[in-house]
């Protein structure tokens, strides 16, 4: 396990491009100043020690030294020892619909982006709970295995789009079935599966899947994302925005199917929450989940970290030493050494 003890210091890397620009300007101005004195070929003859490449090399070495120093003060560390700890919490898996209908813009900026924002806020509220993420359209796929690594969960969340699944459609039943397999085998742990979708299920029997989940001790909640009046599904091509049409050339309107989502939640002994134009509803549902019995769960974490900053500082010092050995002017003694000249 790799980490930076003070990751905030990495913001100093923003200064490196600025310094590089300054070096470029200084070297360029120097060349312009020399050109005012005459032809560069003539000046090279009159000033044999003149070098344009050495200042560039010295600047590069300084930038490399500063870059490694920044990484050094951020204190890179490697986890060296795993320790099992026990935490009281629940297991939560979110199944997020990534079908094309989730691009409808009845909830701004669109249904999918608003759902992702709500999930990110929910992750920020987690303490000891485990979370996993499933995406589904025509089929379901694990995006994040159940974990307590909230940072990675939010990182993977940002990559989700309608393009990450090969098969379009809306198979809520497949998402529930995959969710059942994705929880840990600890029977005493409280488990909740949250389905976030517009509810237009076209592929399978989601209600039967929810009943099977209850038999395995999993509560199934549903969140309806979108508005009952619906909205067209945008299609982008060549920078132009159009809307999806059916076989008769009519614009397809994707509507929230609340009736289906209520039946799934009832079969899964959970609750149904409808999103609004301003709120998705995950916060309210999270409060409901917090009322569930929290059980002890085993997690593995890195308890000891080995410092590696000294090696990074060593590399930085090496760059500085190299910079000191490179002179601005050509060395007249070294220039007399001709290793490859034939007699």
- Residue 298: band (very low, low, confident or very high) from pLDDT cuts 50, 70, 90: low
pLDDT at 264: 94
The residue among 164, 174, 167 whose CA lies nearest residue 197 is 174
Helical ranges in 36-87 per DSSP H: 40-46, 53-73
pLDDT in tens, 235-261: 888 778 899 888 888 998 998 889 999
User: Is 80 exceeded by the pLDDT of residue 103?
Assistant: yes
Higher-pLDDT residue of 269 and 77 is: 269
pLDDT at 83: 54
pLDDT at 1: 63
pLDDT at 127: 81
Higher-pLDDT residue of 285 and 234 is: 234
| pLDDT-wise least confident of 34-38, 58-62, 202-206 | 34-38
Q: H-helix or E-strand containing 201?
A: none
User: Is 70 exceeded by the pLDDT of residue 134?
Assistant: yes
User: Is 60 exceeded by the pLDDT of residue 84?
Assistant: no
Question: Domains in the chain, start-ordered, CATH in brackets?
Answer: 2-79+305-335 (no CATH), 91-293 (3.40.50.410)
Which residues of the chain form beta strands (DSSP E)?
A: 2-4, 76-89, 91-97, 130-136, 140-147, 191-197, 218-224, 231-232, 234-237, 240-243, 253-254, 272-274, 295-307
- Residue 201: band (very low, low, confident or very high) from pLDDT cuts 50, 70, 90: low
The whole-number average pLDDT for the span 229-234 is 90
Q: Three-state SS string across 142-166, please? A: EEEEEECCHHHHHHHHCCCCHHHCC
- Residue 113: band (very low, low, confident or very high) from pLDDT cuts 50, 70, 90: very high
The whole-number average pLDDT for the span 199-210 is 81
User: Is 60 exceeded by the pLDDT of residue 215?
Assistant: yes
- Residue 333: band (very low, low, confident or very high) from pLDDT cuts 50, 70, 90: very low
| pLDDT-wise least confident of 86-95, 116-125, 167-176, 212-221 | 86-95
pLDDT at 3: 72
Higher-pLDDT residue of 27 and 304 is: 27
- Residue 194: band (very low, low, confident or very high) from pLDDT cuts 50, 70, 90: very high
Tokens of 26: 């200084």
Say how far apart CA 261 and CA 274 lie, in whole Å: 9
User: Is 80 exceeded by the pLDDT of residue 24?
Assistant: yes
212 exposure class (CB count in 10 Å sphere: 0-12, 13-18, 19+): middle
The rounded Cα 53 to chain-centroid distance in angstroms is 40
Share of the chain above pLDDT 70, in %: 80
- Residue 47: band (very low, low, confident or very high) from pLDDT cuts 50, 70, 90: low
User: Is 80 exceeded by the pLDDT of residue 89?
Assistant: no
Tell me what the pLDDT averaged over the chain comes to: 82
Beta-bridge mates of residue 307:
77
Helix (H, G, I), strand (E, B) or coil at 61: helix
């Amino acid at each position: 396990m790799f980490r930076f003890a003070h990751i905030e210091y990495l913001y100093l890397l923003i200064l490196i491009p600025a310094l590089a620009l300054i070096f470029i300007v200084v070297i360029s101005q120097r060349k312009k100043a020399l050109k005012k004195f005459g032809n560069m070929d003539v000046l090279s003859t009159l000033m044999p020690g003149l070098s344009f490449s050495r200042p560039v090399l010295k600047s590069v070495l300084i930038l490399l030294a500063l870059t490694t120093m920044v990484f050094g003060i951020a204190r890179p560390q490697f986890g060296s020892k795993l320790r099992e700890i026990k935490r009281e919490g629940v297991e939560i898996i979110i199944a997020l619909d990534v079908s094309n209908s989730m691009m409808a813009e009845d909830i701004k900026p669109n249904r999918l982006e608003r759902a992702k924002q709500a999930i990110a806020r929910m992750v920020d509220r987690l303490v000891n709970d485990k979370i996993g993420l499933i995406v589904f359209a025509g089929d379901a796929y694990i995006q994040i295995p159940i974990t307590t690594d909230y940072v990675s969960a939010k990182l993977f969340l940002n990559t989700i789009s309608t393009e990450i699944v090969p098969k379009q459609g809306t198979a809520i039943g497949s998402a529930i079935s995959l969710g059942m397999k994705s929880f840990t085998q600890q029977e005493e742990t409280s488990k909740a599966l949250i389905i976030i979708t517009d509810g237009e299920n076209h592929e399978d029997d989601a209600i039967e899947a929810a009943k099977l989940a209850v038999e395995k001790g999993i509560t199934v909640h549903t969140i309806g994302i979108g508005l009952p009046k619906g909205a067209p599904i945008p299609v982008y091509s060549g920078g132009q925005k159009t809307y999806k049409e059916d076989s008769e050339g009519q614009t397809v309107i994707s509507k929230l199917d609340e009736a289906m989502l209520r039946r799934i939640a009832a079969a899964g002994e959970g609750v149904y929450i409808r999103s609004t134009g301003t709120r998705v509803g995950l916060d309210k549902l999270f409060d409901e989940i917090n009322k569930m019995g929290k059980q002890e769960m085993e997690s593995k974490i890195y308890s000891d970290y080995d410092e590696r900053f000294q090696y990074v500082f060593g590399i930085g010092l090496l760059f500085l030493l190299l910079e000191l050995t490179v002179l601005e002017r050509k060395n007249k003694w070294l220039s007399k050494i001709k290793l490859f000249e034939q007699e």
